[in-house]
Amino acid sequence: MNTPPAILSAIPRRLHLQPDHPLAITRQLIESRFPDYKSYNDLFPVVTTNQNFDSLGFPDDHIGRSRTDTYYLNKDTVLRTHTSAHQADTFRKNETAGYLISADVYRRDAIDRSHYPVFHQMEGARTWDRDQVPAGKTLAQVIWDDVAKIPKHDINVEDPNPTFHPARNPLQDTHSAEEVEALAAHLKRSLEDVVVAIFTAARTATATATATLDTPSASSEPLRVRWVEAYFPFTSPSWELEVFWRGAWLEVLGSGIVQHSILRNAGVPNRLGWAFGLGLERIAMLLYSIPDIRLFWSTDPRFLTQFAAAAPMARFVPFSKYPACVKDVSFWLRAPSSSNSSSSSNSAAGGNTSSSAGPPPASHAGQQPAFHENDVMEIARDVCGDVVEDVRLVDEFVHPQTARTSLCYRTNYRSLGRTLTNDETNELHERFRQQLVEKLGVELR
């Protein structure tokens, strides 16, 4: 069990289902582009490790299984880290050819304006049944017929790479080239239609925004979209969709042809299809120019009432900007220990720093677990809540004689709703420092 009360308290919030919440509006906008797909929006976030990892082919040593990345309730149960935890079950139910899942997901992560331990994903999939192809047609022809039904657009789409490549983006041996060409066309046209809807709404919002916004105006140039080859463990071939927005290419979503092993393990080996996934916060922050991910969790009426009965052209106008208070904490990590050789191999201090990729070694009686940066983030959130805006490593030093490592983390305190006093910030920071000592076994400098 490594799930703190603050994370458990977020479960009932279900922001993606709150009326007039920007995440709910964003979800509904995307759902409107898939009118024939079944939507699953109320799936409970507690899942088994089999659902979250095994059903998707995660290897036993995958970093996602680590307690440094995932919130465990016990050794067999976690808070889902992605909506794909429900993918196999949804394929197994086989209630509809296309489906959408929107849900809150939970990950131990960094603290900054774009990361939060609870966020929201949407994924969708569309499959076809080889056993239901009409006589005289191939499956590829059936899929191409469905491609013709997707709304057309006139945006500039760059797609220079072949649909599949034997080394970079391989074809699965269960699929023919003709089938994948048709599947890729259906996927790309469907998701291009979503992007047109999203960024048309964003451009409308920009055009009607007030002069108080401090964000640059969106370009009046035609919308540009490009497909980029990618790798995902659940799909092959795979692609990311990027949009040229405010002078830079921005990744919007990931997608690909579903690994047939997932469908086979779900009991529907006769089906094949595509899937995509995106972050609702990322899209909503674009639509409404929301500068800080913490605002989605705000109960301040100045934020929430802006979206009441709003269409996607509603625009978030930041309310008062309150001053930040920056404080540092420096500490020595535990010295290398011969009784914990697996830990001391990771760094000169005998613990993992933020660059360590693997899960921490099992702790022995009387020993502290290996250091991981996400533990610092978790303590900051637990002590300071949403008052902490950003925590980052600003200095790392290895003592030449003792080989001990010193780290310095800079914490930016800023309330979204009021000015913090220096006394209360000092009190929070001191509690943060003491919890680092108590829970991580560090030595303050």
pLDDT in tens, 268-306: 999 999 999 999 999 998 888 888 899 999 888 878 888
Strands (E), 176-320: 224-232, 235-245, 248-258, 271-279
Question: For residues 201 and 55, which has the higher predicted lDDT (pLDDT)?
Answer: 55
- Sign of CA pseudo-dihedral 216, 222, 223, 224: negative
Q: Are residues 232 and 337 in the same domain?
A: no
State how many domains the chain has: 2
Residue 349: pLDDT over 60:
no
Is 332 within 8 Å of 347 (Cβ atoms)?
Answer: no
Query: What's 112's DSSP letter?
Result: B
Domain CATH code at residue 381: 3.30.70.380
Residue 105 in any domain: the answer is yes
Give residue-wise pLDDT tens across range 176-192. 999 999 999 999 999 99
For residue 98, the cross-strand partners are 126
Task: Say whether 104 sits in a helix, a strand or coil.
Answer: strand
Q: Are residues 130 and 193 in the same domain?
A: yes
Q: Are residues 129 and 162 in the same domain?
A: yes
Alpha helices in 32-75 (DSSP H): 49-52
Tokens standing for 439? 């829970």
Nearest CA among 52, 85, 91, 50 for reference residue 264: 91
Q: Cα dist. 332→107, 399, 442 in Å?
A: 27, 10, 6
Tokens standing for 267? 């009991």
Alpha-carbon 213 to chain mean position: 27
Give residue-wise pLDDT tens across range 383-422. 988 899 999 999 999 999 888 999 999 999 998 888 888 8
Nearest CA among 299, 281, 263 for reference residue 102: 281
Q: Are residues 283 and 332 in the same domain?
A: no
Q: Are residues 9 and 72 in the same domain?
A: yes
Last residue of some domain: 273, 304, 335? 304
Residue 421 in any domain: the answer is yes
Q: Are residues 373 and 230 in the same domain?
A: no
Residue 49's identity, in one-letter code, is T
Domain CATH code at residue 271: 3.30.930.10
Q: What is the pLDDT of residue 301?
A: 81
Domain that holds residue 399: 325-444
Q: Are residues 150 and 78 in the same domain?
A: yes
Q: Is residue 437 very low, low, confident or very high in pLDDT (cuts 50, 70, 90)?
A: very high
Q: Are residues 189 and 43 in the same domain?
A: yes
What number of other Cβ atoms are within 10 A of residue 345's Cβ?
A: 10
Distance CA 208, CA 315 (A): 8
Distance CA 26, CA 198 (A): 8
Q: Are residues 280 and 370 in the same domain?
A: no
Angle between helices 280-288 and 22-31 (to 10 degrees): 100
Q: Cα dist. 270→90, 153, 175 in Å?
A: 15, 32, 11
What number of other Cβ atoms are within 10 A of residue 242's Cβ?
A: 19
What integer is the mean pLDDT of 230-259?
92
For residue 79, the cross-strand partners are 46
Q: Are residues 140 and 191 in the same domain?
A: yes
Give residue-wise pLDDT tens across range 142-173. 999 999 999 999 888 999 999 999 999 999 99
